[in-house]
Amino acid sequence: MLIDFIHIQNFRKLKNCRIDFSEKETLFVGANNSGKTSAMDALILFFKSRNKFNTKDFTLSNWNSINAIGEKWIAEKDPLNIDLTIKDWEEQLPVLDIWLKVENHELHHVSNLIPTLDWTGGLLGVRLRYEPSKIEDLYKEFTSACKNSSEIIGDSLKGKTKSNFNLWPKNMWDFLENRMNTHFSVKTYLLNPLLKDSPQQLTEFDIPIEGDTLNRIIRVDIINAQRGFSDANTDISDGHNSKSLSSQLRSYYDKHLNPTIYPTAEDVAALQLIHDAKETFDKNLKESFKTALGELELLNYPGFGNPKINLSSQINTVDSLQHDSSVQYILDDGNSGLSLPEKYNGLGYQNLISMIFKLIRFRDEWMKIGKSLNPTDTETIFEPLHLILVEEPEAHLHAQVQQVFIKEAYKVLRNHRELGENKVFCSQLIISTHSNHVAHEIAFTSLRYFKREIGTGGNISTSTVVNLSKTFGKDDDTTKFAIRYLKTTHSDLFFADAVIMVEGPAERMLMPYFIKHHTKLNNCYLSILEIGGSHAHRLKPLIENLGIISLVITDIDSINPKDKGKKVRPEKNMGYSSGNDTLKTWIPKMADLDKLLVLKSSDKEDSVLPIKIAFQTPIIVNSGKADITVNPYTFEDSLVMENRLIFQALTQGKGLLKKMISAANETDIEKSGQLMYDCITETGAKKAEFALELFYIEEPNKLKTPDYIKEGLDWLESKLISQKTGLQNT
């Protein structure tokens, strides 16, 4: 049995959002404020903490409609005219639909969830909805509270100027801020498997199921983002988020190993030793305290009616672990006896060990290892599905340790004789992360990308989820290229506000300096990928699926089609073309050089998605006598031509930089442009070395951003600014 997918509605940013689950590991990725935490919290609240919802868990835009219900209730004087059914509330309520993939041999687990008699396996849907328990009671208390506050204000303001002052409750939201969990609860409904492709509308004939129907089917365990090693406000709602490994070990020992609980024949020897030790220690106690207790008799104690003092120790196996040094780290091979308590180990390793141990404990509690199995219990439940939620495992871990955790976590969860590859009991691990190192270690088909949908006209921003198995699950050359490329680079584009794809190493190294000229961009999380103009279009399916704001900075790469596609310096009216596949096949889908050189900025954008292309544009240079137009071929000659005075002033340099300095000092602008073209197109021209040499002898912040790159960055800045306006609801 597995969770095939969930569908979340009206929960924070997730207004209407389907999330497909992988069979083993599913990783939630996305930029900040994209909804990853919302999805994890929805699972936690619906499964584990049903009485902890608050008004902020409703999608913010829904409160206009919910407040309108309250206003209608107050305005209507005749209660008989009020609709006290769920109808007006349905479209506003937080909902979690769970779709289970159930095999025929597992039907006994879901007997109370089978929707029809002819259902024999496949997908099975259950809806959990947070809704008013009794709308009549909610109506009575809300209207009574509003009437009471209205009367009090009316009496206090008699003869005074009308004021905007209001008492509680100002509206339905204000009322439910204090009273929601009194009037709301999670109710469970069965769904029709034939209508699984979109969220279903419940009818008046859909009656909620009594009790927690999923309790015996799915076991849920959680590792919260805050794990208590450095934050005193750690959420310990799961009851096991202890602040040290020793406390976790004590809990594990007490539940699985303690010989005093359901003792077996193997435990008798240990218990006998504990008993003998207690008797010996008690004898020693009495002898040691004999003199001291005798002194009390001088005070006439115990005396008449006062009990006599007796000393008796209690040796408890769990108490033996109740100290800071119960867990120690051996410093060498153990022969010297040198060790340190756990608090002296690095915070990252404490965190790693703690998380792995929690996974071990989750697994063993699920499988009823040791004393967690009550031999007298005639109805022991082994849930067929174990769902483990881990929030941001990268907290306090450096990159290598993050990779260790993510590679080993699922193996730990399955390391049991009844588990492994056995499908009788299934484990699904759900992880939310901001770490590209974590994402790098997971199969890309298991990534679920949370995509921000920006509200317009004052609407609330929401999110949708992209199932990347539909992108990376293909076996074509484009997909293979994307996977291989991302495996050789960081996967930070999955967490960025925007992506900038550049042609080569020189652009990649200088781009951060150009971005600093755009102060608002400098405050955003940008992923800069060196992809090359001839390959940028190969990431087109991925970029378009993610819907991420993307700027592609590439070269015009002019060629002469009449001369076997030979490279040529860009010139108009020569019948030249661009040899750049990105320009020819993606944006603007054009090869004619004359048209490209005069293309408007708006024609370099995708008509639907936030994607823009930037390539070299004509530069007007003043020669001292007249303005001369120069058409650069690539990034390097654009940079030098637009910063001629800076390069003319340089007195040192080698390789390509030395040649470009020489070209910049040529007074004939046309000849200068030709020399630059010759330098950058000759065999062995080292463009990366050009940028490094420039860093060494000149402050890059002084360089003017080439116009074509500035045009792209201006567009990028405008897109990101528009995203950051309006209300945000995480």
Say how far apart CA 82 and CA 143 lie, in whole Å: 12
Average confidence (pLDDT) over 579-591: 94
Would you state the structure tokens that stand for residue 606, as one six-digit string? 């995708």
Give 132-189 pLDDT, tens digit per residue.
Answer: 999 999 999 999 999 998 888 766 666 565 566 678 899 999 999 999 999 999 999 9
Would you state the structure tokens that stand for residue 238, as one six-digit string? 């799961």
Give 694-706 pLDDT, tens digit per residue.
Answer: 888 878 888 999 9
Would you state the structure tokens that stand for residue 384, as one six-digit string? 């067929």
The yes-or-no verdict on residue 211 having pLDDT over 70 is yes
Which of 52-56, 106-110, 281-285, 491-495 shows the lowest mean pLDDT across its residues?
281-285
Average confidence (pLDDT) over 240-244: 52
Query: Which residue has better confidence, 198 or 322?
Result: 198
Four-CA torsion 417, 421, 426, 431, nearest 10 degrees: 110
Q: Is 457 left (phi over 0), alpha (psi -120 to 50) or beta?
A: left
Say how far apart CA 59 and CA 15 lie, in whole Å: 6
Residues with Cβ within 8 Å of 438's Cβ and at least 6 positions away in sequence, in order, are 27, 393, 394, 402, 403, 405, 406, 431
Residues with Cβ within 8 Å of 462's Cβ and at least 6 positions away in sequence, in order, are 13, 14, 15, 16, 17, 35, 59, 453, 455, 729
Give the domain ranges of the chain.
2-19+50-217, 265-316, 496-730
What is the side-by-side order of every strand in the sheet holding 558-560?
566-567, 558-560, 577-578
Query: Which residue has better confidence, 519 or 104?
Result: 104
Give 261-279 pLDDT, tens digit per residue.
Answer: 667 776 677 767 777 777 8
Which of 325-334, 347-356, 401-410, 451-460 shows the lowest mean pLDDT across its residues?
325-334
Which of 392-406, 628-642, 670-684 shows the lowest mean pLDDT across its residues?
392-406
Query: What is the SS3 assignment for 558?
Result: strand
* Dihedral angle sign, alpha carbons of residues 701, 703, 709, 710: positive
Query: Which residue has better confidence, 542 or 314?
Result: 542
Say how far apart CA 263 and CA 271 lie, in whole Å: 9
Residues with Cβ within 8 Å of 120's Cβ and at least 6 positions away in sequence, in order, are 104, 107
Query: Which residue has better confidence, 533 or 284?
Result: 284
**CA-based R_g, the chain, Å:** 35
pLDDT at 331: 52
Average confidence (pLDDT) over 297-316: 57
pLDDT at 496: 93
Give 452-492 pLDDT, tens digit per residue.
Answer: 887 655 567 789 999 998 888 787 888 888 888 888 877 88
Angle between helical axes of 655-664 and 669-681 (0-180°, round to 10)? 170
In percent, how much of the chain has pLDDT > 70?
81
Please count the other Cβ atoms lying within 10 Å of the Cβ belonging to residue 24. 16
* Half-sphere exposure in the Cβ direction for 315 (13 Å, CA): 14
413, 453 Cβ separation under 8 angstroms: no
pLDDT at 698: 79
Give 548-573 pLDDT, tens digit per residue.
Answer: 999 999 999 999 999 999 999 999 99
Q: Which amino acid belongs to residue 98? A: I
Angle between helical axes of 172-183 and 63-75 (0-180°, round to 10)? 100
Query: Which residue has better confidence, 687 or 332?
Result: 687
pLDDT at 163: 61
pLDDT tier, 238 (very low <50, low <70, confident <90, very high otherwise):
very low
Say how far apart CA 48 and CA 54 lie, in whole Å: 15
pLDDT at 237: 45
727, 460 Cβ separation under 8 angstroms: yes
pLDDT at 458: 52
Say how far apart CA 606 and CA 612 lie, in whole Å: 6
Q: Which helix (H) or strand (E) holds 172?
A: helix 172-183
Give 438-453 pLDDT, tens digit per residue.
Answer: 998 888 999 999 998 8
Which of 69-78, 497-506, 529-538, 705-714 shows the lowest mean pLDDT across its residues?
529-538
Residues with Cβ within 8 Å of 706's Cβ and at least 6 positions away in sequence, in order, are 616, 635, 638, 639, 642
The reply to whether omega before 302 is within 30° of 0 (cis) is: yes
Give 9-47 pLDDT, tens digit per residue.
Answer: 999 999 999 999 999 999 999 998 899 999 999 999 999
Please count the other Cβ atoms lying within 10 Å of the Cβ belonging to residue 170. 14
Rounded to the nearest angstrom, the gap between the alpha carbon of residue 279 and the centroid of all alpha carbons in its chain is 56
The yes-or-no verdict on residue 345 having pLDDT over 60 is no
Query: Which residue has better confidence, 374 or 383?
Result: 383
481, 538 Cβ separation under 8 angstroms: yes
455, 726 Cβ separation under 8 angstroms: yes
Provide the H-helix boundaries in 346-389.
347-366
Q: Which amino acid belongs to residue 311? A: L
Owner of token pair 């007006």: 88
The yes-or-no verdict on residue 337 having pLDDT over 70 is no
Say how far apart CA 465 and CA 703 lie, in whole Å: 40
Average confidence (pLDDT) over 1-13: 96
474, 481 Cβ separation under 8 angstroms: no
Q: Which amino acid belongs to residue 367? A: M
In percent, how much of the chain has pLDDT > 90?
52
pLDDT tier, 653 (very low <50, low <70, confident <90, very high otherwise):
confident
Q: How far is CA 540 from CA 482, 531, 535, 546, 611, in A?
A: 9, 12, 10, 10, 10
Query: Which residue has better confidence, 307 or 290?
Result: 290
Residues with Cβ within 8 Å of 238's Cβ and at least 6 positions away in sequence, in order, are 48, 221, 222, 224
pLDDT tier, 412 (very low <50, low <70, confident <90, very high otherwise):
very high
Mean of pLDDT over the chain: 84
Query: Which residue has better confidence, 551 or 537?
Result: 551
The yes-or-no verdict on residue 107 having pLDDT over 80 is yes
What's the whole-model pTM score?
0.84
Average confidence (pLDDT) over 47-59: 92
The yes-or-no verdict on residue 680 having pLDDT over 70 is yes
Average confidence (pLDDT) over 428-432: 96
Say how far apart CA 84 and CA 615 lie, in whole Å: 62
The reply to whether omega before 169 is within 30° of 0 (cis) is: yes
The yes-or-no verdict on residue 432 having pLDDT over 70 is yes
pLDDT at 228: 46
31, 496 Cβ separation under 8 angstroms: yes
Q: Which amino acid belongs to residue 336? A: S
Owner of token pair 């492709």: 197
pLDDT tier, 730 (very low <50, low <70, confident <90, very high otherwise):
very low
Say how far apart CA 51 and CA 86 lie, in whole Å: 20
17, 35 Cβ separation under 8 angstroms: yes
pLDDT at 167: 81
